Chain A
């Protein structure tokens, strides 16, 4: 059995990587188990790997590409000595110390854990949805947008992400229908204005997608509005941008979490209900969910962790 590490960080979005920078600089030699490459937002780098321009992260007045920003975070962590494993954590045991974190059958022992596993896209949970992913239904505009050149498509959602996706997609699509559940967008004012000003975006208010149609690929959707009326929308692409759910499956029964899956932390800190386990970023935040707030909480987790480790001596 190998020696226990000081700290293992699970996840490598802005929260995990900021925690890595701070714990590395605190000479804790952190091991970051950063996730596996995938297109579903729980990959190394987190959700920003699937975006293009990030304009609201402080420090980049001209904006920066999501993947580029995350690469800089990672380089900084590496510079101070953070170690990376590009794998996904499959199981954890926090019932005794040192804690154990598994990547399939490889066990890692550690005195402390920082959970920064983030969140992944919520789906509509409609029949045929799983079959049609990659065949017209998508959660990644940057992955799939190009295919819909000259076609009419729809984006579901009313937040900043939905509008960003819709705006990006107007580069390719002839028309983008933005399907919004209520009579208002919840996005920031500036993004709302962009949606209103974009000629190719048509907002469909008070509506939800209630059925998907098509055999080998999407041919249309049924929209149901709040007054009960329905209509068919012949679109060949549907991008789902209705929000995220936290990646906490492996912590079920291990860490205190809300019904929605968000990890619970002690107010004003990153302490979970298990001493020595800290949580930061979107995995424990359903209020703010910004890259900068995730980074901020990653720093808090590193400081909480470092002080807690000190107190154990």
Chain B
């Protein structure tokens, strides 16, 4: 785990997402994706600021395409917010930090 971000794999995905006590934001990314790299520092910041209320995780679609396929992730970066094991929000494409926080704020404690 680096920057407070959890690295997920095909084998750890379900367990981590289902047993998370907080909402968990999963970032689907890949090494060759420019916009994914652009939001990486934003996600690290959010992981730090919302620590305790939100878990931030990432999944490399190159290595774990089966999970990406399961959630119909067609474009990256895609961020899925899970609460109690269910997808409650989907965001496609890079975006500024303020907008990302706006999108997920209703699922976090005030």
CA distance A195 to B37 in the complex (A): 28
Are A49's CB and B35's CB within 8 A? Answer: yes
**B-contacting residues, A131-149, CB 8 Å:** 134-136, 138, 140, 142-144, 146-147, 149
Identity of the chain A residue whose Cβ is nearest the Cβ of B94 in the assembled complex? A37
A202 within 8 A of B: no
Looking at the assembled complex, report how far the CB atom of B66 sits from the nearest CB atom of chain A, in whole angstroms. 11
Chain A hits for B17, CB < 8 A: none
CA distance A117 to B68 in the complex (A): 34
CA distance A66 to B38 in the complex (A): 12
Chain A hits for B26, CB < 8 A: none
Are B35's CB and A143's CB within 8 A? Answer: yes
CA distance A146 to B42 in the complex (A): 23
Identity of the chain A residue whose Cβ is nearest the Cβ of B36 in the assembled complex? A143
B73 within 8 A of A: yes
Are B65's CB and A149's CB within 8 A? Answer: yes
Are B92's CB and A134's CB within 8 A? Answer: yes
Are A38's CB and B94's CB within 8 A? Answer: yes
Chain A hits for B76, CB < 8 A: 143-144, 146
Give how many B residues have a beta carbon under 8 Å from the other chain's beta carbons: 24
CA distance A178 to B95 in the complex (A): 30
A43: which of B32, B42, B61, B94 is its contact (CB, 8 Å)?
A: B94
Chain A hits for B36, CB < 8 A: 143
Identity of the chain A residue whose Cβ is nearest the Cβ of B42 in the assembled complex? A37
Are A144's CB and B35's CB within 8 A? Answer: no
CA distance A58 to B12 in the complex (A): 44
A45: which of B34, B42, B73, B92 is its contact (CB, 8 Å)?
A: B34
Looking at the assembled complex, report how far the CB atom of B45 sits from the nearest CB atom of chain A, in whole angstroms. 12
Between A and B, 16 residue pairs with Cβ closer than 8 Å are A36-B96, A37-B38, A37-B42, A38-B95, A48-B34, A49-B35, A52-B32, A67-B38, A86-B96, A134-B74, A134-B93, A138-B75, A143-B34, A143-B75, A146-B76, A147-B68
Closest 6 CB pairs of A and B: A49-B34, A39-B93, A37-B94, A36-B96, A39-B35, A67-B34
